[in-house]
Amino acid sequence: MLYLLYLRLAEHHHYIPVLNLLRYLTFRGGLAVATSQLVVVAMGSRFIRWMRAKQGRGQPIRTDGIQRHITEKAGTPTMGGLMFLAGITVATLLWGDLTNVYVWMVLMVTLSFGALGFMDDYAKVTKQTTAGLSGRLRLVAESLIAIVAVAVMVVFAQHSPEGANLSTSVAFPIFKRALVNLSWFYLVFGAFIIVGASNAVNFTDGLDGLATVPVMIAAATFGLIAYLVGNFRFADYLQLHFVPGAGEVAILCAAMVGAGLGFLWYNAPPARIFMGDSGALSLGGALGAIAVATKHEIVLGIVGGLFVVETVSVIIQVLWFKRTGRRVFLMAPIHHHFERLGWSEPTVVIRFWIVAIMLALLGLSTLKLR
């Protein structure tokens, strides 16, 4: 919004030196971090009190889970993801280029998945059960939203100097300029990335702060990637695929980092509020949509490797139990397995944060290994 105001003033030759700073993505990204953090912190205490009053007994805790969680976390309100969504939306609308299709589609996915998560959280709280919306219904809704977002990004993407096929192609890390054009099947592939990332973050959100920091790390990493692929000189130097307009997605990434900082103030152990599905689904969906926009879908699997491992642990546990009646892990997702082994919650969380940082660095290293 303010960026468009600057462009309008510049168009009519109203030169204001301070507003000239809005030309720079880095400056607007810094403001997006600060804005989203301030929004989340400002609404935090009042929102938590309101949620606690409305939700009564708070989010239901799995009865087959860690006993300490049942006793210590009972009564903690959920739907903290609404704080995330408020911070991200305000910061993006203020500092992003609102004529950019990637910004709108990533924001649309974030808010739509957040709405689905809210309905899921609401069903859990009102029915006092860990089962919210029908899994099949939610998956269908997520897939439709994701397909629409990918289709719009493909149709309205600015043509790259590398050719129009870039928008429907998959790029591979390490291999220089390697592209596989999926044509319209890319809609299915892109939707899979978005829906998969969304649910992967949702599986990870099981301990205080466990999902928040890895999401921030992944968002910061993809903020840098968006900045690089959206700048022709940097993309050419690093031999990346230049994606015109994708740089603006860095503003939304910065807003995610700022919102995470603000939310962590209240979500740090012991958490005063959980992000719930309204946060986990929306943040994961945002990461998936950002990966699609920047043409770094495969790299998301590296940067978000922690989320992948959490998801795979659940899949292995379910499939193996159905086949043999036995469990591979003491409890899934895998962070609960380590708790059952005797690790304290802060130990699990901090060690998983370390893994997330290492994976982010590994993902960034692929930018130069070409």
Helix pair 101-127, 81-95: axis angle to 10 deg = 160
In a domain, 363, yes or no: no
Mean pLDDT across 105-129: 88
Mean pLDDT of the chain, nearest integer: 88
pLDDT of residue 166: 85
Q: What is the mean pLDDT of residues 188-202?
A: 97
Report if residue 365 sits inside a domain: no
Q: Inform me whether the pLDDT recorded for 202 exceeds 70.
A: yes
- Looking up tokens 């699997």, which residue turns up? 301
Three-state secondary structure string covering the chain:
CHHHHHHHHHHCCCCCHHHHHHHCHHHHHHHHHHHHHHHHHHHHHHHHHHHHHHHCCCCCCCCCCCHHHHHHCCCCCCCCHHHHHHHHHHHHHHHCCCCCHHHHHHHHHHHHHHHHHHHHHHHHHHHCCCCCCCHHHHHHHHHHHHHHHHHHHHHHCCCECCEHHHHHEEECCCCCCCEEECHHHHHHHHHHHHHHHHHHHHHHCCCCCCCHHHHHHHHHHHHHHHHHHCCHHHHHHHCCCCCCCHHHHHHHHHHHHHHHHHHHHHHCCCCCCCCHHHHHHHHHHHHHHHHHHHCCHHHHHHHCHHHHHHHHHHHHHHHHHHHHCCCCCCCCCHHHHHHHCCCCHHHHHHHHHHHHHHHHHHHHHCCCCC
Number of structural domains found in the chain: 1
Residue 258 resides in a domain? yes
Is the predicted pLDDT of residue 191 greater than 70, yes or no?
Answer: yes
Say if CB 203 and CB 221 are below 8 A apart.
Answer: no
209 versus 66: the higher-pLDDT residue is: 209
- Give the Cα separation of 116 and 113 in Å (integer): 5
Say what the pLDDT of residue 178 is. 76
Q: How far apart are CA 74 and CA 51, in angstroms?
A: 14
Other C-beta atoms lying within 10 Å of the C-beta of residue 53: 9
Residue 333 is predicted with a pLDDT of: 94
pLDDT at residue number 163: 54
pLDDT in tens, 323-338: 998 999 999 899 999 9
- Answer yes or no: is 275 within a domain: yes
Residue 294 domain flag = yes
Work out the percent of the chain whose per-residue pLDDT is above 70: 85
- Of 88, 337, 346, 311, the C-alpha closest to 210 is 346
Q: Cα separation of 202 and 196, whole Å?
A: 10
What's the number of CA atoms in the CB half-sphere (13 Å) around residue 65?
A: 18
pLDDT, position 366 = 87
**In the prediction, which pLDDT does 44 show?**
86
pLDDT confidence tier of residue 59, bands split at 50, 70 and 90: low
- How far is Cα 368 from Cα 237, in angstroms, rounded to an integer? 9
Number of residues that make up the chain: 370
Task: Over range 106-132, report the average pLDDT.
Answer: 85
pLDDT at position 292 over 90: yes
Full domain range(s) for residue 287: 29-301
Q: What integer pLDDT is reported at residue 130 of this predicted model?
A: 59
Phi, psi of 171 (to 5 degrees): -95, 150
Question: Is 311 among the domain residues?
Answer: no
Burial 299-335 (b: 16+ CB within 10 A, else e): bbbbbbbbbbbbbebbeebeeeeeeeeeeebebbbbb
Q: How far apart are CA 66 and CA 318, in angstroms?
A: 19
Residues 77-110: pLDDT tens digits? 888 999 999 999 999 999 999 999 999 999 999 9
What is the rounded average pLDDT of the residues 265-274? 85
In a domain, 328, yes or no: no
pLDDT at 204: 95
pTM: 0.92
Amino acid making up residue 170: V
- Does 279 reside within a domain? yes
Model confidence over 6-45: pLDDT tens digits?
Answer: 666 655 555 566 666 778 899 999 999 999 999 999 998 8
Hey, CA dihedral for 23, 26, 27, 28, is it positive or negative?
positive
**Sign of the Cα pseudo-torsion (256, 96, 286, 308, in order):** negative
